[in-house]
Each structure stands twice: as structure tokens, then as C-alpha cells.
Amino acid sequence: VSDNAVFAERLKALSAALAAAPPDRRPLDALLISGLPNIRYLSGFTGSNALLLVAGGSATLLTDPRYTLQAAKQSPFPARIGKGPLVSLAADLVKRRKFKRLGVERNRISFETWAALESALPAGCKMVPVTNAVEDLRMVKSAEETALIRDSVETNSRAFRRAMKGFRAGMRENELAAEIDYQARRAGAESPAFETIVAAGERSAFPHARPTGEKIGSKTMLLIDMGSFQAGYASDMTRTLFVGKASKRFKQAYRAVLEAQLAAIDRVRPGVTSGEVDSAARSALTKAGHGAAFVHSTGHGLGLEIHEQPRIGDKGTVALQAGFVITIEPGVYFEGWGGIRIEDTVVVTETGCEVLTPTPKDLVEW
């Protein structure tokens, strides 16, 4: 399939979704896309300043002169290049085409931009906040997207293996984090998907610790959470190992987290809700006596962004579908001791799921 056919298909799906469930039961004349990942998804354009006005089965890309060539190359839609604020361009188009009801992405627009757009629009045009219209479509990945995520995940695991080759006790957290980022880039990644987490000992009790200049000791746990973008698509993996001979407490907690992670993976299949997947991990950890130490949700969708719909958390009501790509990442955290998390990326298949992450999960004593 050509890229143009892909974007036409996505635009069609978006129009169908909007026609099926208009926010206040009256159809929209147009939808203004302001979320950059959503613009990329719908048009292929990857620039840093853009709006996409979707109407009547087509779209117009609005951007600035830095991106004239890039817009023509990446996007199949006509582009309008503006020197001033893009909302003025958008308002001009809305006026010219006499749109009366303009959908706006409520979670992808600042208050300031909303207000500027409101004052630039003609008096007869109403702005209608729209929630997750594109994000919901993005939950189901095409075979091509899944292949790109698989590549990204494999690059990430390769970088982990190469970075760990040079790891010795006594290395500093930020040295290992730098080595991971370097190896990821060399292996094909475009950029980190988030700030690489390397946390040893007590610092691993912070689920989102930042690497410090502290040395990684020789009898300590070590948590590494890393991910990168490749061809636009994210990867995300966490491994926790023990430097030296693992303590009994570490072994016991590691087994509990691994069992919870496997229980959640086992639950993943079409029709099961995000809340049920979360509850599989949560009840396994609760049974092991660690329910209170599992302080975050079980996972999240990923794709063009590192965190996407759906969130895999308690009370999650989204029914999984084949083509969703999500992380499964339960963890336990104890102040003054440390934390253990194990995270893989999985794709929902017709009959269950496939774990994309190739890095082994057996307990490692480094």
C-alpha cells in the first residue's frame, strides 16, 4: 500500500468515527487537528509547527515557511504556508468555507491557542471540544505499524545487551545511562523515547528515578528502564537485575513481580478490558503480600508516542482489540530498600498476544 492510500484510509476512518458519535449529537463541519503525533498519523508530516484542518473527506496542512519543502514531500494534502500564527490561517479557511461547527482537540490545545482561535473565528462559528478522536483510531496498529514497533523494540534490546557488555560494579548510574543512549543510537534509534532510567539500590524505589552520579555498588539491585524512537515508533522496556549474589528478599520479590507480569500477559486477548489486565497483575502481587507496593498502573499503549491510549490501569474499561500494542510493567517499590519492575511490549493478536521484547526475564546475578 502506498502512503497516500494509508492516509486516505485513516482520514476515512476518522470521518466515520466523527459522524457516528458527534459530541453533542450534531455533526461537525470540520475538525482542527493540533496534536503533532495526530497530524503525523493522518498526514505523514513530522514538522514541529502545524495544524491540520480535516473536512469533507480531505485535509489541509497549515505550517510555516521552514517546512514548505518538507510538507510537500511528506504529506499528500495541500499545504498552506503562513508567516504568522497558524490559528489565523485556520480561521481564514473556516471563514472562506463557511464552517459553522469546528471540532477542536481538547487535550491537544493550550488555553492561549484556544482563546486566539476563538477570537479569530467568525461570530457564527462554534468551537466544539472533541476528545481522543484520533487517539482512539491510533490504538489499533496496522501490520506495518506493528512491524515498525517490533523493529524499535528489537533495537532497544540490542542496545541494552551491548551497553551491559561493558557494565561493571563501580560504574556510575549516569555513565551507564549515557552508554545505553549511545548504543541505542548506534543500533538505529533516532532518539530516546524518554529519559533513560538507571537506578541502583535504594534509588530504584523511585519508579521514575533519574540517573545520578552515584556509583552502582557490588551488592545491589539495579533497575534500567529504556526506550527509543525508530522510524517514529516507540519502544519501552524495564529490567531489574542484581549486581552480585541476590539476597533472599530480592529473589522473593523478583519472583512475585515476574509472576504478576506473566499473569497479566496471560490475560491479554481481544475482548478483555484494560482493567481486567491490570487486575491480573494486581491480584497476583496482592496474593504475594505486595499489593500496597505496586503504586502505578500495569501499562499503557505505545506507538507514535511513548504513552498512548489505552492506559492499562484499574477501572480501565477499554476492551482490547487485535492490533493494540501495550506495555505490561508491574513493579514493587519499598522506601529505603529499592524497587523491582519488569516491562515488556506486547501486541494483541486474534487469539491472545505476542511478547515483542526479546530480552530474557530470568533473574540475573551480574
Q: How far is the CB of 48 from ligand GLY (least distance, A)?
A: 23
Q: How far is the CB of 227 from Mn ion (least distance, A)?
A: 6
Instruction: Return the residue of 105, 225, 276, 344 that touches Mn ion, per CB under 5 A.
Output: 225
181 binds Mn ion (CB under 5 A): no
Residue showing the smallest CB distance to ligand GLY in the complex:
225
Q: Which is nearer to ligand GLY, 75 or 235 (CB)?
A: 235
Alpha carbon distance 46, 63 (integer Å): 11
# of chain residues touching Mn ion (CB under 5 A): 5
236 binds Mn ion (CB under 5 A): yes
Q: Computed from CA positions of residues 56, 108, 272, 153, in that sequence, does the dihedral angle turn out positive or negative?
A: positive
Q: Which is nearer to Mn ion, 67 or 294 (CB)?
A: 294
Residue 194 binding partner per list ligand GLY, Mn ion, none, with a CB distance cut-off of 5 to 8 Å that depends on partner kind: ligand GLY
Q: Which is nearer to ligand GLY, 45 or 333 (CB)?
A: 333
Q: Which is nearer to ligand GLY, 74 or 156 (CB)?
A: 156
Q: Which is nearer to ligand GLY, 194 or 334 (CB)?
A: 194
Residues of the shown chain interacting with ligand GLY in the complex, contacts defined by CB under 6 A: 194, 225, 236, 329, 343
Binding site for Mn ion (CB under 5 A): 225, 236, 238, 327, 343
